[in-house]
Amino acid sequence: MLLIGVGNAGGRAAYYVYQRGSLPGLRIGAMDSDEAALQQLSGLNTVLLPAPEEAPDETGDAADERHSVLYSALDAQFPTIHLLLVVTGLGGRAGCYYTLETLRYARSKKLACAAIVAMPHSFDSPELHSRAETGLRQLREITPAVQLLPCQEFGALFLDKTREEAYPQAARWLAESSIGFLYPFAKFPPPKRVSGKGARKEDPNQLQFVFSDQPRGIFTGGLPSNYYGQNFDIPTFQRRNVNIDPGE
Amino acid sequence: MKTQREIYTGVEIGTSSIKVMLGEFLPGDSLSVLALGEAPSLKMCKSEAADTRVVGGQVAQALAAAERAAGFPITGPVFMSISGAFVETVNITGSVLINEPTGRIAESDLEEATRQTNLPEVPQGKFRLAQSVNRLFRLADGRVLFNPIGQCSRSLEVETQHFIAEWERANTTYCLLSEALGKLEVATVIYTPLAVSSAVFPPAASDESLNLVIDIGAGMTSIAMPTSVGHFHLGQVGIGCEHLANDLSIALDLPIQTARSLVSQMDSLHCTAVATKDNRARMVSINQDNLSKHRVIPASSIELVVELRMRELFELIRRQLDERGAYSWLGNRVFLSGGGARIPRISDLAATVFNRPVVVAQPYRITGRADFQPLPQYNTVIGLIRAGYRDLQVAQQVSQQASTLGSTVEWWKNAWKAITDW
């Protein structure tokens, strides 16, 4: 499986999934035309794309250049995946344009693909809303598997916060939705058979959704101790999925 | 006479506690500890103050405790340690061609090469710590040496490490101490790994194989690998015993204070850093006063959490040493220091990662009051006094030479000595 975060919000969402420890068999990447935004996603595979024009001329040289950069990045991944999920904020110029192009290309390669898109917030400009509406129509023509996160419908929820807080929250929402979407397709190792009194009675097909980040406890407010793409403030046993018996 | 005594003070504002030590040097390079004052830091995170008002009060308490223990006020030079993720190491390389027809390297060649390693410009918002250390010398044929004088080579290359700190974050800690000291000034600020190294290793140790000391503090872990004329590696990682407490708190659903107590009392609980996988064969009983809740926790769970975290820390250090080319120089002994060195069997765990015997580091040539125990958590503050004293001596020599001779060559000669002395 491949999860690609496109644009600023998509990139952040992909980074959240990456920080949480991903899922078995899932590759994560981010694409954007904003170099500074990509640089913040340390440890993640990123692709810097040319900035799209406001009204892209699909037949011009500039479009060819954009497509060639995008296609070569996708060609490196497509032969080894079965499912592509694109996450993005559809109001952004790069997010909207490259999400559509990525999914068109994936369909042309007969790849199963889906998209989870966050619509603009109620306080965003009409231009963003208009771009997102147009993009959504085009997106649904490419694939029926489009999951929508209507941020504008949750105005009261987001308006209690500043814009600086609302955008990361939407990205987090995208990330959690992505994990939920991909979870049934993840290839988990077969459950260990536990016998005896302490055996847990669980349906092996039962889905488990985790809607919170792994805790960082007392280090939450400070700068993270990041080394080699890992946040060492997250307990080691959590990052390595080691089960600890808490006693009675 | 008492008034002629030169008494030095070291202050370490650590994540777990603030330590103030007063000491004087005796003949034979012995350090006599006259007094020790200690107070919990309370509001520090990874060597930085989270609440300056609280920490400032604790610094004043620790200073007062040291003065009470000494029986006289602090008057002499005060040395302070600096630690944190905001301090970074910059390596600068300088090189010279050897003019001597035989290619024999003289002291003047070292001076010239070292002069070229001066940091050209410090980025805005940052400052350079006073200490710089020589890392290594490289000859034309690629050989790496720590003392190349007398060797024959067409050229000589030197690598020097400078330490750059973010001004505002360092200044926050500095102000905590300077405000508590009142009229007294901080004489010099020493990078913590350098202080730890100064406490444990006497100067001019052999270069045949390099020692390594790892100081596991509450918030940061310091790493130092000294040579006879400098340090091959000095650095820190932002992981410490607080991470252990945090892991235990989350894994076992305990309040953070209880988890901290667990870490400090592992010995009395018969828990070690090497996990015994005996499930619930050994249970640890915990009474939490604030919740009035009795808990029984498997000792194996505590050990497993500790082992996972500490093994990961040692593996991270080994990887960093490997990437900096330092691991291949490592001798047959690794030393552990800091409060983390007191965790039972931590040496055994470290030995499995470094593939060498690991022992708890002891400060060299230390004497003092009968009630003073040279525990590994005091190595930083002991080393502060040693490193600060050496720093003062070198600075005095350099300034004297510069003022009396006024010669650029002589000044550089002494400046170079200041570097090689580390």
Q: What is the pLDDT of residues B134-172, one digit of tens each?
A: 888 999 998 888 888 889 999 999 999 999 999 999 999
In a domain, B153, yes or no: yes
According to the model, what pLDDT value does residue A204 have? 54
User: Do B265 and B344 share a domain, yes or no?
Assistant: yes
In a domain, B146, yes or no: yes
Q: What CATH number should be reported for the domain holding residue B102?
A: 3.30.1490.110
Task: Determine which of A194, A212, A213, A237 to mutate to test the interface with B (most B C-beta atoms within 10 Å).
Answer: A237
With the CA atoms of B322, B325, B326 and B330 taken in that order, what torsion angle do they form, in degrees rounded to the nearest 10? 80
> Which of B250, B296, B301 faces A217 most closely, judged by CB atoms?
B250
User: Do B333 and B215 share a domain, yes or no?
Assistant: yes
In a domain, B248, yes or no: yes
B312 vs A: CB within 8 A = yes
Q: What CATH number should be reported for the domain holding residue B334?
A: 3.30.420.40
A209 vs B: CB within 8 A = no
User: Do B246 and B111 share a domain, yes or no?
Assistant: no
In a domain, B420, yes or no: no
Say if residue A210's pLDDT is above 50. Answer: no
B288 vs A: CB within 8 A = no
Q: How many CA atoms lie within 13 A of A103 on its CB side?
A: 27
H helical segments located in B71-136: 107-115
C-alpha distance from A179 to closest chain B C-alpha (Å): 23
B301 vs A: CB within 8 A = yes
Q: For all residues of chain A together, what is the average pLDDT?
A: 82
pLDDT, tens digit (0-9, with 9 covering 90-100), for B387-405: 999 888 888 877 776 555 4
Confidence of residue B311 (pLDDT cuts 50, 70, 90): very high
B237 vs A: CB within 8 A = yes
| In contact, B9 and B21? CB cutoff 8 Å | yes
Which of left, alpha, beta for B73 (phi over 0: left; psi -120 to 50: alpha)? beta
Pairing assessment for the beta strands B126-139 and B155-166 based on DSSP bridges: antiparallel
Confidence of residue A209 (pLDDT cuts 50, 70, 90): very low
Judging contacts by C-beta atoms under 8 Å, the chain A residues touching residue B283 are: 247
Under an 8 A CB cutoff, do A247 and B295 touch? Answer: yes
User: Do B229 and B324 share a domain, yes or no?
Assistant: yes
According to the model, what pLDDT value does residue B134 have? 86
Judging contacts by C-beta atoms under 8 Å, the chain B residues touching residue A197 are: none
User: Do B147 and B231 share a domain, yes or no?
Assistant: no
Judging contacts by C-beta atoms under 8 Å, the chain B residues touching residue A218 are: 45, 242, 245-246, 249, 256
B306 vs A: CB within 8 A = no
B309 vs A: CB within 8 A = yes
User: Do B227 and B310 share a domain, yes or no?
Assistant: yes
Last residue of a domain, one of B345, B361, B377: B361
> Which of A218, A227, A244 faces B242 most closely, judged by CB atoms?
A218
- pTM score: 0.69
Pairing assessment for the beta strands B8-13 and B210-216 based on DSSP bridges: unpaired
Last residue of a domain, one of B166, B200, B229: B166
Burial classification of residue B355, based on how many CB atoms lie within 10 Å of its CB (0-12 exposed, 13-18 middle, 19 or more buried):
exposed
User: Do B279 and B341 share a domain, yes or no?
Assistant: yes
Judging contacts by C-beta atoms under 8 Å, the chain B residues touching residue A245 are: 279-280, 298, 300-301
| In contact, B35 and B395? CB cutoff 8 Å | no
According to the model, what pLDDT value does residue A158 have? 59
Say if residue B30's pLDDT is above 80. Answer: yes
3-state SS class at B254: coil
Under an 8 A CB cutoff, do B243 and A232 touch? Answer: yes
* CA–CA distance, B389 with B410 (Å, rounded to integer): 23
B403 versus A61: which is more confidently predicted? A61
Q: What tokens were used for A84?
A: 């592509």
Q: Which contacts of B351-355 are long-range, i.e. CB under 8 A and separated by 24 or more positions?
A: B352/B311, B353/B311, B353/B314, B353/B315, B353/B318, B354/B212, B354/B314, B354/B318, B354/B330
In a domain, B220, yes or no: yes
Judging contacts by C-beta atoms under 8 Å, the chain B residues touching residue A248 are: 295-296
B266 versus B395: which is more confidently predicted? B266
With the CA atoms of A71, A73, A79 and A85 taken in that order, what torsion angle do they form, in degrees rounded to the nearest 10? -90
- Of these ranges, A180-189, B122-131, B200-209, the one predicted with the greatest mean pLDDT is B122-131
In a domain, B277, yes or no: yes
According to the model, what pLDDT value does residue B33 have? 95
User: Do B238 and B297 share a domain, yes or no?
Assistant: yes
A247 vs B: CB within 8 A = yes
* CA–CA distance, A49 with A29 (Å, rounded to integer): 13
B50 vs A: CB within 8 A = yes
Judging contacts by C-beta atoms under 8 Å, the chain B residues touching residue A235 are: 243, 246-247, 250-251, 305, 309
pLDDT, tens digit (0-9, with 9 covering 90-100), for B360-377: 999 999 998 888 889 999
The answer to which of A114-128, A182-196, B283-297 has the lowest mean pLDDT is A182-196
Q: For all residues of chain B together, what is the average pLDDT?
A: 88
Say if residue B348's pLDDT is above 80. Answer: yes
Q: What is the DSSP string of chain A?
A: -EEEEEHHHHHHHHHHHHHHT--TT-EEEEEES-HHHHHTSTTSEEEE-PPPPSS--TTSHHHHHHHHHHHHHHHTTGGG-SEEEEEEETTSHHHHHHHHHHHHHHHHTT-EEEEEEEPPPTTS-HHHHHHHHHHHHHHHHH-S-EEEE-GGGGHHHHHTS-HHHHHHHHHHHHHHHHHHHHGGG--PPPPPP--STT-----TT------SPPP-GGGTTS---EETTEETTS-HHHHTT-------
Say if residue B1's pLDDT is above 50. Answer: no
User: Do B236 and B339 share a domain, yes or no?
Assistant: yes
Q: Which domain holds residue B155?
A: 89-166
Last residue of a domain, one of B329, B361, B393: B361
User: Do B134 and B233 share a domain, yes or no?
Assistant: no
User: Do B315 and B216 share a domain, yes or no?
Assistant: yes
CB atoms within 10 A of CB B256: 15
| In contact, A102 and A4? CB cutoff 8 Å | yes
CB atoms within 10 A of CB B402: 16
In a domain, B310, yes or no: yes
Q: How many CA atoms lie within 13 A of B99 on its CB side?
A: 6
B293 versus B168: which is more confidently predicted? B168
Domains and CATH numbers, chain A: 2-55+69-185 (3.40.50.1440), 214-248 (no CATH)
Q: What's the number of domains chain B is made of?
A: 2
* CA–CA distance, B30 with B25 (Å, rounded to integer): 6
Under an 8 A CB cutoff, do A248 and B296 touch? Answer: yes
In a domain, B308, yes or no: yes
According to the model, what pLDDT value does residue A58 have? 58
Measuring CA to CA, which residue among B392, B383, B306, B316 is closest to residue B349? B306
